[in-house]
Amino acid sequence: MSAARQRPFRRLSYSAVALIGAGALVTGCTSNTPESSGEGGGGDTNAASSNDEAGDTVTIGFSAPAADHGWMAGITEAARAAAEEYEDVELTVAEGTNDVGTQISQVETFINQGVDAIVLLPFDGAALTPVALQAMEAGIPVINVDREFNSPFAARATILGDNYGMGVSAGTYVCEQVGDNPNAVVAEIAGIDSLPLTQDRSQGFADALDECGLTVANRVAADFTVEGGEEAAANLLQAAPQIDALWNHDDDQGVGVLAAIENAGRDEFVMVGGAGSANAMRAIEAGDSVLQATVIYPHTQAADGIRLARLVAQDKSLSDLVSAEVPRQIVLNAPVVTADNVDQFIDRAFES
C-alpha cells in the first residue's frame, strides 16, 4: 500500500483542493450565463468567458443506462439541462437502456449519423469499449462518463466521480463524530459488492477510519434499491444491538435503510448517506432522524460531459487553463453535506 493510501486524510486535503478546482473549470469556464451562487454547489455557473460565445453548431449524441434509479435519472436530466444552455448545441438523447447490445447499437447509430461528439455513460465500460473505439477511429470524440472504458484510446476525455474519495469523506466525518471513542461501533451498508465502485468506496472508508483507530464492526451489502436497502438494514440492525455510526453508500437505497431504522425504533447512532439526493438533504435539514450527513457523488457528471463535448468539437479548451486543449481526465470532488452547508447543495440535488 502506498503512503498516499496509508494517509487518506492527507490525500484528501490535497485532492479536495485540486478536484474542486477541476470542477470549477468545467462548470464555470464553459458557462453560458454569468450567474454565480459562489458556493460550489456541484454545477452552478460562474463568470462567463469567451467560450460562452456561440460557435459552429455541434450535434452531440448522449447515451446512458435506464433511469431506474434516482441518481441515474438525475444524470440524464442534468445532461439535457446543460445542452439547453447553449444555442449552438443540438443534443440527441438515446433511450436509457441496461441492455449492452442496445447501447452498442445506439452508439453505432450516432456514428452513422456523423454526430460531432458522443457523451457516453456505459452500462458496462468494458463491453462498450470496442464501439467507443470505433467512434474515435471515425473522428468522433467520445466523452466517457462515470464508468471507465478499458482502453485509453476509447475516449477523448473522461469525467469521473471519486468513489475512493467518497469513502474517505464518509470515514473522515465518522471520525469527527465518534473518533474520540476507541470502542465506537461503526457499521456499513454497501451497494453491490461485486462492483469496483463499491469496493473503492469501502476501501476509502476503511482507510479513513484507520486514521482515528476505528474499524468497521458490522457490514452488509444491498443493491442500490429501496427494497434492498430496507432488507439489508433490517438484517444489520438485528445483528448489531449497539451502533455508534453508520455509513450507507447510496441515498436511493437509503430510503429503505431509514424505513428499517424507524421500524426498529433505533436512534442511538449517527448515519451518513451517499450520493447526495434531495430527500436525504431534506432529512438533514429537518434534523429529525439519524441521518446527519451525506457524501456527494455528482449526478452532474454527464452535464459536464456535454460541456466538454461542445468545447472539444469546437476546438476550444477550458479558459482558466494555460493548456490549449481539454484535459484527458477530470475527477470530481466528494464533499460532505451537513446541516451547516446543505443550502449550498440542495437546489441541484437529484430526487430519489
pLDDT of res. 20: 35
Task: Indicate whether 259 belongs to any domain.
Answer: yes
Q: What is the CATH number of the domain that holds 115?
A: 3.40.50.2300
Domain boundary among 296, 313, 343: 296
Task: Indicate whether 279 belongs to any domain.
Answer: yes
Say yes or no: 86 and 120 in one domain.
Answer: yes
Task: Indicate whether 310 belongs to any domain.
Answer: yes
pLDDT at 2 over 90: no
pLDDT at 8 over 80: no
Task: Indicate whether 349 belongs to any domain.
Answer: no
Instruction: Write phi, then psi, for 145 (nearest 5 degrees).
Output: -120, 130
CA distances 226 to 55, 151, 213, 241, 317, Å, are 44, 34, 32, 23, 41
Q: What is the mean pLDDT of residues 37-47?
A: 39
Range of the domain at 308: 3-161+299-332
pLDDT of res. 123: 94
Say yes or no: 53 and 155 in one domain.
Answer: yes
For residue 347, what are the contacts with CB-CB under 8 A and spacing of at least 6? Answer: 41
Q: What is the mean pLDDT of residues 49-78?
A: 91
Say yes or no: 140 and 172 in one domain.
Answer: no
Say yes or no: 55 and 168 in one domain.
Answer: no
State the sign of the Cα–Cα–Cα–Cα dihedral 21, 15, 167, 215.
Answer: negative
Looking at the structure of the chain, the number of domains it has is: 2
| Residue whose C-alpha cell reads 444524470 in the numeric block | 75
Say yes or no: 139 and 61 in one domain.
Answer: yes
Say yes or no: 14 and 86 in one domain.
Answer: yes
Say yes or no: 80 and 197 in one domain.
Answer: no
pLDDT of res. 352: 83
Say yes or no: 311 and 229 in one domain.
Answer: no
Task: Indicate whether 352 belongs to any domain.
Answer: no
Say yes or no: 8 and 152 in one domain.
Answer: yes
What is the grid cell recorded at 41? 454547489
Say yes or no: 143 and 216 in one domain.
Answer: no
pLDDT at 191 over 50: yes
**What proportion of the chain, given as a percentage, has pLDDT over 70?**
86
pLDDT of res. 320: 78
Say yes or no: 202 and 255 in one domain.
Answer: yes
* Residues composing the chain: 352
Cβ 273 vs Cβ 291: under 8 Å: yes
Q: pLDDT tens digits, residue range 110-158?
A: 999 999 999 999 999 999 999 999 999 999 999 999 999 999 999 999 9
Task: Indicate whether 309 belongs to any domain.
Answer: yes
Q: pLDDT tens digits, residue range 209-254?
A: 999 999 999 999 999 999 999 999 999 999 999 999 999 999 999 9
Task: Indicate whether 316 belongs to any domain.
Answer: yes
Q: pLDDT tens digits, residue range 97-113?
A: 999 999 999 999 999 99
Q: What is the mean pLDDT of residues 29-56?
A: 51
pLDDT of res. 202: 98
pLDDT at 4 over 80: no
Say yes or no: 256 and 278 in one domain.
Answer: yes
pLDDT at 3 over 50: no
Task: Indicate whether 262 belongs to any domain.
Answer: yes
